[in-house]
Amino acid sequence: MATTNWRTINVDLLDPESPANFDISSLLSTIASVSASEVQTLSSQIKQLLRGGDPEGALRGALENAPYGGDAQAKEVHLATVVETLQSIKQSEMSPMLSRIYGSEGGPETLDVLMKYLYKGMSHTSQPSLGRSSLTPQATGFSQILSRGGGEGGGQAMSVLLSWHEKLVEIAGAGSIVRVMSDRRTV
Amino acid sequence: MASPDVHHLFHHPITDHSFSADRQTLAVARDNNVELYSRSGNNFTLQDELKGHDKTVTSVDIAPSTGRIVTCSQDRNAYVWEPSPSGWKPTLVLLRINRAATFVRWSPSEKKFAVGSGARVIAICYFEEENDWWVSKHLKKPIRSTITTVAWHPNSVLLAAGSTDAHARVFSSFIKGVDARPESSVWGERLPFNTVCGEFLNNSAGWVHGCAFSPSGNALAYTAHDSSITVVYPSGPDEPPNAVVSLGTQLLPFLSLIWNGESEIIAAGYDCEAYRLRGNEQGWQIVGSMESKGRPGLGEMRDESALNMFRQMDLKGKSKDDTQLKTVHQNTIATIRNYDEAGGIVKKFSSSGVDGRVVIWST
């Protein structure tokens, strides 16, 4: 008779009380929105710190002002800034710097943000590696495929991120990874 | 510190456990049944099984003074079990939920119990004399997701609940005719049913695994999946809390926690061991693990002869047996509970977990 397969109907969508029809963001703390130009300004400030020989200040500045409320483009820009900062820090300086940040006020949270950027950076190792994308702007999807195929520049960025990851887990522990997975404020 | 008292009951996860008031009977939830163990000497032997649920039992609680056992299960039912000459007699509770029941606890007065569920409600159940059955009233608003845990305030009216919508909430579960009017506290003065006395969210919004009121009831601690413990000190009704202290740890998330006095919390979870935390409104710190490292008996179990070493290398390609964790529990600890406490000070607590062990620790 009826040809509808009742078992495949998503009953939750028909129930007005259902969580599927509920906007979860109304439960969470509100995040101020950030415009792309603000992120650009911040990025140039951080680069200035970096040139001025203060990589720790640059890293802190970048992590403490993570643009949770920004759009995808703003987040990309900030990711590039963070990765560039990370790449400019010497391997031998990583652990002492992380310990100093961890011990400071609000430090553990800052390191959680760093962990978020490490994972985000690893999830697409495309543009930040050589600053190539800033010279030849490409659609993000396209550049991702390119670097996965080519691998060279991406691999270098990846090894930097991996060694940061190793050092960071030593100091902030597995809890930091769990927080990245459970946190709804994405970078 | 005395060494922990380990009881390896079976090779199967224990979702929840509860001791009777005299500590002679132990109820553990295993699959669809609840097994009752009685103490004989230093061991626990299987005494009885409570069969009735047809899906996994999620929680079990023995009322200390009446001895009634309440169980709840993924089959959406809860039973109250009472001893009778012919064995334990179950009474079905009318929960009126359409999703699994996840967590159940008796109120300190033992006249009510609270059942958390996946149907975004907490059923507050009480006994109705006229009809001779357990009925429920629902705490609904503003829960947006599955309730994972509940905890009672000492006054048996206030109830804390943790949910997968990342909030820990404090509700009033006042039921006319069952409860005496509660004294006003920091949580509120007038407390009709379903009053929301507090709603707390931590920064990274991980879902809540466990919660507990401090012995005085004037502070609430909860642990969430972002490896954090948050302690809330309320200041008064309709006012922002005095302090909300959130501690992000370096460890894996905690699943369960208990208070030991007003300034100490014991918490355990995915790291397979229990940790002690100390603090106050200014801040909380992890003091250390409850396990004494380098416990005797751990290394000695292995035969350290050269023959054995080469045999192990031949058999397994390595000389060290690293399949055992260094902790007493060999897997996640799901529940910790007070075992021996007086006046809010815990002398002993018990833990159970996925490895089928129930362990009694002295603090």
Q: pLDDT tens digits for B230-259? A: 999 998 887 889 999 999 999 999 999 999
Residue in A174, A182, A185 closest to B251 by CB: A174
pTM: 0.84
The C-alpha atoms of residue B145 and residue B168 are separated, in whole angstroms, by: 11
Q: How far is CA B195 from CA A16, A166, B104, B179, B190, in A?
A: 24, 47, 20, 15, 9
- In chain B, what residues touch A29 (CB-CB under 8 Å)? 201, 203, 205
pLDDT in tens, B52-78: 999 999 999 999 999 999 999 999 999
Residue in A109, A112, A184 closest to B205 by CB: A184
| A29/B201 CB distance under 8 A | yes
Q: Looking up tokens 């300034």, which residue turns up?
A: B263
Handedness of CA A32, A36, A37, A40 (dihedral sign): positive
The C-alpha atoms of residue A84 and residue A145 are separated, in whole angstroms, by: 21
Closest residue, chain A, to B253 (C-alpha): A175
Residue B254: count of CB within 10 angstroms of its CB: 28
- In chain B, what residues touch A173 (CB-CB under 8 Å)? 249-251
Q: Looking up tokens 């406490």, which residue turns up?
A: B341
E strand or H helix that includes residue A66? none
The C-alpha atoms of residue B234 and residue B223 are separated, in whole angstroms, by: 17
Token pair listed for B230: 């948050």
Token pair listed for A152: 């060279």
Q: Name the burial class of residue B281, with classes exposed (0-12), middle (13-18) and buried (19+) by CB atoms within 10 angstroms of its CB.
A: middle
Residue in A24, A174, A182 closest to B225 by CB: A182
Q: How far is CA A172 from CA A114, B105, B250, B252, in A?
A: 10, 35, 5, 11
Name residue B103's beta-bridge partners.
Answer: B116
User: What's the distance, Cα to Cα, between the start and end of chain A in Å?
Assistant: 51
Closest residue, chain A, to B254 (C-alpha): A175
Q: Evaluate whether A175 touches B252 at the Cβ level (below 8 Å).
A: yes
| A175/B227 CB distance under 8 A | yes
What count of CB pairs under 8 Å joins A to B? Answer: 71
**What percentage of chain B exceeds 70 in pLDDT?**
96
In this prediction the ipTM stands at: 0.82
Following DSSP, what letter does each residue of A81-147 receive, concatenated? HHHHHHHTS-HHHHHHHHHHHHHSTTHHHHHHHHHHHHHHHHH--SGGGTSHHHHS---HHHHHHHH
pLDDT at B317: 79
pLDDT at A141: 45
| Complete edge-to-edge strand list for the sheet that includes strand B17-19 | B17-19, B25-30, B33-40, B43-50
pLDDT in tens, B91-109: 999 999 999 999 999 999 9
The C-alpha atoms of residue B141 and residue B194 are separated, in whole angstroms, by: 7
| A182/B226 CB distance under 8 A | yes
Q: How far is CA B357 from CA A157, B42, B246, B265, B273, in A?
A: 46, 15, 31, 22, 12
Predicted confidence pLDDT, tens digits, chain A (187 residues): 567 888 888 887 887 777 677 776 777 777 778 888 888 899 999 999 988 888 888 999 899 888 888 888 888 889 989 998 998 898 888 999 999 999 888 888 899 999 999 999 988 765 544 444 444 444 444 444 444 444 455 678 888 999 999 999 999 999 999 999 988 888 8
B222 φ, ψ to 5°? -145, 150
pLDDT at B146: 93
The C-alpha atoms of residue B77 and residue A56 are separated, in whole angstroms, by: 57
Q: How far is A166 from chain B (nearest CA, A)?
A: 14
Q: How far is B111 from chain A (nearest CA, A)?
A: 31
| B165/A183 CB distance under 8 A | no
Q: What is the CA radius of gyration of chain A?
A: 20
| Residues on B contacting A at a C-beta cutoff of 8 Å | 120, 144-145, 165-167, 201, 203-207, 224-228, 248-253
| Residues on A contacting B at a C-beta cutoff of 8 Å | 19, 22, 24, 27-29, 108-109, 112, 172-176, 178-179, 182-185
For Cα atoms B295, B299, B304, give the angle at the middle one, nearest 5 degrees: 165
